[in-house]
Structure formats: C-alpha cells, structure tokens
Amino acid sequence: MKLYIGNLSPETTEDTLRQTFAGHGEVSSVNIIKDRYTGESRGFGFVEMITKSEAQEAISSLNGTELDGRQLKVNEARPRNDNRGGRGGNRGGGGRRSW
C-alpha cells in the first residue's frame, strides 16, 4: 500500500524516512519528490509498505508526529491524475462554418 507523506523537512532523507516507517512494518520503497531543476525536496514523498495492515498502523501511529522539526502528514496515497492542467473537454474550433 502506498502512503503519501507531507510536510517533510528539507533535511529529511529517504533513509531517515525508511527507518521511521520500518518501525511499523516492512517498507518496500521510499521516494522523496525533488524539484527537477534545483534537486531540493518539494516537501512531500511516498512510502510503500508490504501489507495494508502495516500501512494502516503507520498512518495511525505517525500522522501528526514530528520528524526533523516538522509535523508529518501521513495518509493513503490517491491515484495519480494524469490530466495535468491540460485543456479538457471537446472544444472543436477553427475552420469555416457553413450555414
């Protein structure tokens, strides 16, 4: 189960995050999202845990706790929406009208 971790400190590393969550179950992956230009943390990341019960345990235990001076926001990750600000809808356009 994939978890969203928000309000991360710029000093928090993937190793620190892995160790924090490993106390609540087996962690399969950790990914802190970084700015593509500066390489700095964007303040959020994802932790994937092996079982749903371990993930739920991590959510209830770690949400609101402090890590590296910041209060974590931990919840189940939502599916990614691939419509990133593009124009939606069926907007035909251009061309000549024949009446």
Residues 28-74 pLDDT 10s: 999 999 999 999 999 999 999 999 999 999 999 999 999 999 999 99
Closest by alpha carbon to 67, among 48, 43, 49, 33? 43
pLDDT band at 80 (very low <50, low <70, confident <90, very high): confident
DSSP characters for 59-82?
Answer: HHHHTT-EETTEE-EEEEPPPP--
pLDDT above 60 (res 88)? no
Task: Quote the CATH superfamily of domain 2-76.
Answer: RRM (RNA recognition motif) domain (3.30.70.330)
Whole-number pLDDT of residue 82:
63
The ranges assigned to domains in the chain are: 2-76
Minimal CA–CA distance to 46: which of 11, 21, 81?
21
User: CB under 8 Å to 74, separation ≥6 — which residues?
Assistant: 3, 4, 5, 6, 58, 59, 62, 63
